[in-house]
Structure formats: C-alpha cells, structure tokens
Structure 1
Amino acid sequence: MSETSYRTALVTGASSGLGRGLALWLAKQGLRVFATGRRLSQLDALAAEARAAGATVEPVEMDVTDEARTRARLQQLDDECGGLDLIVANAGVGGPTHAKRMEWERVSAIIDTNVTGACATLCAVLPRMVERGRGHLVGISSLAGQRGLAGHAAYSASKAFLSTFLESLRVDLSGTGVHVTCVYPGFVKSEMTAKNRFPMPFLMETEDAVERMGRAIFRAQSEVRFPWQLAAPMRLVKVLPNPLFDAAARRLK
C-alpha cells in the first residue's frame, strides 16, 4: 500500500501519549482518523486541535478490554467509512508486577488491555482486509518485550506476546496485500512513563517518536525500533545466556 492510498485509519488509546500524537500526525497527512479511547473529553480536544490544523479526527469512545464491543464497533466503523485502511493497536497499560509482591488484579488489567484488547483490535476487520486485498495492521509493542524485565513480568510478557502475534500475522498475510508493522519504542514521554520511578535512558520526546512511527508505517516496514541507542543493546540482551542476563537484570531492579 502506497502513502497516497491511505484514506482512513483507526488508532486506539488516542486520549494521550503516542496514540494521540500518531492520530494527529496521520490526520495531518490527509487521512480520516478515528481516534478511540475511554476519555471522551480528551478525544474531543484532539478533534478540535485537528480541525484547527485543517485535519479530520473523529472521536470514538471505546474500551478495548470489552473485546466483543471493540470488534463490533470496529466492524461498524469499517462499514460506515467504506473500509478501514490502517488499524493501529496502541492502547496499553503498564505498572510493576514484582514476583515477590504479585497482585493478580494488576496482572489481569495489563493482559486484558495489552493482549486481549490489542488482539481484538487487530482481528476485528482482518478477514475483510484480506477479502479486499488491502489494509495495514500496526501494533505498538515495546523494547521491554525483548526479555523479561525485573519487576515487570506482566508488561514485558504482554509486549512479547503482541510482537510474536504480529510476526505470525505478517508471515500468514504475505501476498494478500495486507501489511503488518510492529513498533518497538523505548522510553517516550507520556502519562504512563511519567509515573515511572526508575531511570529511563534515552527518553524521547513524543513528537520525535511519532514521526519515526509514522514514516515507518507509510513505508510499510515490518518493524521499527527506537531509539537506536537503546534498541541496539536490547538486541544483544536478547541473546545473552540466562545466567548473565539474570545477574544484569537483578542489578537494575
């Protein structure tokens, strides 16, 4: 799919952070963007900002953890707009889930959003995309999904699941006209990272991260990792023998 063939896009988790930035960026490229989230007032503010820039963002109040309603709503929007060209599963939550202080409620909340919600989003109109012979699915994973980070078992695992899920989709969809892109951000300024109480090396501005994501999506790259200063060592960490990784990870707790 070329840059000019994108007409419509849907971005989940667009109330703030990367989702908000990407929804606005896509709208400024001329796409009709459906921005979904649970906080309608923030989505309305995003739509107003887009209108001021001559772009179109349509707010859609939606909670991806309600997977049945998520799939039904995306199918409805797909019908109304004549087919969604681009779907970005961005909605995500984080938080510590340390094995010595494990709280099931927090683990469940992370899985419900980052795994079930993301998959419901990506699968909702996938059969229709295949039938149309065009479309693009994007999932926002994380460099934190490369290994099981200390104190963040649920978050790391949820992002590892998403990246593997997208990889299988990419292989299966080869030759169908439906593209798949997995985004692996490092630390990006957002409401979620603002809560972190640990060092965040190479923390990126939201606008910089959004620009990299947008360009990679329009080029239909299979994956994009940033910033390189963190992405490169994380590739090495992935192949470290367990004893070396465990020792290093314990020091970072």
Structure 2
Amino acid sequence: MAEMSYRTALVTGATSGLGRGLALWLARRGLRVFAAGRRVSQLQALAAEAQAAGATVEPVELDVTATDATLERIRALDGECGGLDLVVANAGVGGVTHAKRLQWERVKAIIDTNVTGAAATLSAVLPQMVERRRGHVVGVSSLAAFRGLAGHGAYSASKAFLATFMESLRVDLSGTGVRVTCIYPGFVKSELTEKNNFPMPFLMETEAAVDRMGNGILRGEGELYFPWQLALPSRLLKVVPNPLFDAAARRFR
C-alpha cells in the first residue's frame, strides 16, 4: 500500500489511558488531533500539555453512546478540517458480567459503548473517506476478543464484534485507498485495568503500548497484537477444543 501522509486525526476515549496517550503521541508528530471524550476538564488538560510541547490537540466533548449526536459531530469535524485522515474508535468500558449474577444494565452499558458507539464512530466518516480515496480507520479491540473470558462475557463479545467488523471493513475497502487497522491490546495500565481484581500477566506500561499502537498505525498494519507473550497464547486459544478451554477458564476464574 502506498505511503500515506496524515494531517488530521480523531481519537475517542481520549480522557485517559491508551486514548489520551495516542492523541498526544500523534499530536507530537505534527497531526492536528481532535481528542474526544465525556470529561471536558481532562481533555482541556491534555490540550494544555500538547500545547506546551508545541503540538495541537483540540478537545471535543463527545459521548459515543449518543449515536445520532456522535454521527453529526464527527461529520461536522470532517467538513470543518478539510477531511479527517485518521479516525480511532478507542472509547471502551469493561466490567464483570458473570452469567450467574447477570445484570442487563451492565451488559447494555458495555454494548452501547464498545459495540454501538465504536460502529457509529467509524461509520460517520467512512463514506467521505471512500469518496476522497484516502483515510484510515482504526478499531481498538482486545486480546479478550478471541475467547469468552470467565465473568466477562459482555466485554469479550463486544471486542469480538469490533474485531470482526474491522475485518469485514478491511476486505470491503481493499483498493479504495482507505486503510483499516484493528488493534488487540493485552493488559495495559489504565483506569480500566486498575479496577481489575484478578491476575494480569505481562501488564504493559501505557507509554510502551501507545508507542506500539502509534507506529503500527503509521505503518498501515492491518492487525496489531501486543504484548507478544500474551498475544500468541490468546490467538492459539481460538483453536483449542471447548472442553479443554472450559476447564482452563474455570481454573483461571
């Protein structure tokens, strides 16, 4: 694929963690970055940090679960900036959804953000990118997408949806000039993972994970998995027979 130059980017879920780090990483490399999220004060702090480094980050108040407003806002940004080159659907939430104590409210909250919100974010600008014959859409899935993790059915399923959605987009958009990347992080230090009360093998520092994401995006990689120590067994689990997987999952739980 031909090299692509990036001028503008939108990153959702930019108030903390990977989204915040990636927004700053891209801005420091000369992109005009629209950092989207619900917590405006944290976005403003990010913008100030970027400005101090001579970079440009513009806060965008956005709740991806409000899909009509999300579509309208992203399309408006696309028009205002002369076309978004890069859109990263990073906003995501987690939480326990154990089948023995299943709460629809928790399941719905995960689906609204990780599935509906992500799909709306990517759908908002794809037609314009195809028309311009340039652009790049990125979905941040998870290594949890490969099998249904014990106690986290809604989260695993939501990330599996995004992975499959991105795969279909990649196939459909071949030859259009629009790039598609799906990222599968493992455990990364963030607000999301600090709430976990279970072992997190090969936990990565945020900065190291962001660097891998940023470089993978700019290289135009179709898929990106990290850390390899967790990515390899996670992918192999896909072909493990159900009885073996179920027994292992129960022990981990």
Alignment TM-score, normalising by the size of structure 1: 0.99
- The residue correspondences of 1:212-251 to structure 2 (distance < 5 A) are 212-251=212-251
- The residue correspondences of 1:117-156 to structure 2 (distance < 5 A) are 117-156=117-156
- Structure 2 CA distance for aligned equivalents of residues 139 and 184 of structure 1: 9
Corresponding residue for residue 190 of structure 1: 190
The amino acid across from 1:116 in the alignment is T
Could you tell me how far 1:122 is from its partner in structure 2? 0.3
The amino acid across from 2:225 in the alignment is R
- Name the Cα RMSD after superposition: 0.6
The amino acid across from 2:177 in the alignment is G
Corresponding residue for residue 26 of structure 1: 26
Could you tell me how far 1:235 is from its partner in structure 2? 1.4
The amino acid across from 2:163 in the alignment is S
1:94 counterpart SS class:
coil
- The residue correspondences of 1:1-253 to structure 2 (distance < 5 A) are 2=3, 5-253=5-253
2:88 counterpart SS class:
strand
Could you tell me how far 1:2 is from its partner in structure 2? 2.7
1:191 counterpart SS class:
coil
The amino acid across from 1:2 in the alignment is E
Cα distance per residue 1:219-251 (max 9 Å; x no partner): 100000000000011111111000000000011
1:139 counterpart SS class:
strand
- Structure 1 CA distance for aligned equivalents of residues 176 and 72 of structure 2: 24
- Structure 1 CA distance for aligned equivalents of residues 239 and 219 of structure 2: 28
1:162 counterpart SS class:
helix
2:137 counterpart SS class:
strand
Cα distance per residue 1:28-68 (max 9 Å; x no partner): 01000000000000000000000000000000001000000
The amino acid across from 2:84 in the alignment is L
| Number of equivalent positions | 252
The amino acid across from 2:3 in the alignment is S
- Structure 1 CA distance for aligned equivalents of residues 13 and 134 of structure 2: 24
- Structure 2 CA distance for aligned equivalents of residues 47 and 236 of structure 1: 41
- Structure 1 CA distance for aligned equivalents of residues 235 and 24 of structure 2: 31
The amino acid across from 1:53 in the alignment is A
Task: List alignment gaps of at least 5 residues for structure 2.
Answer: none
The amino acid across from 2:103 in the alignment is E
- Structure 2 CA distance for aligned equivalents of residues 80 and 150 of structure 1: 45
- Structure 2 CA distance for aligned equivalents of residues 202 and 74 of structure 1: 35
Cα distance per residue 1:125-181 (max 9 Å; x no partner): 100000000000000000011100000000000000000000000000000000000
Runs of 4+ more than 6 Å apart: none
- Structure 1 CA distance for aligned equivalents of residues 106 and 235 of structure 2: 28
Cα distance per residue 1:70-98 (max 9 Å; x no partner): 00000000000000000000000000000
The amino acid across from 2:148 in the alignment is G
Cα distance per residue 1:83-126 (max 9 Å; x no partner): 00000000000000000000000000000000000000000010
The amino acid across from 2:188 in the alignment is V
- Structure 1 CA distance for aligned equivalents of residues 201 and 148 of structure 2: 18
Alignment TM-score, normalising by the size of structure 2: 0.99
- Structure 1 CA distance for aligned equivalents of residues 135 and 13 of structure 2: 20
2:179 counterpart SS class:
strand
- Structure 2 CA distance for aligned equivalents of residues 21 and 249 of structure 1: 32
Task: List alignment gaps of at least 5 residues for structure 1.
Answer: none
1:224 counterpart SS class:
strand
Cα distance per residue 1:190-241 (max 9 Å; x no partner): 0010000000000000000000000000010000000000001111111100
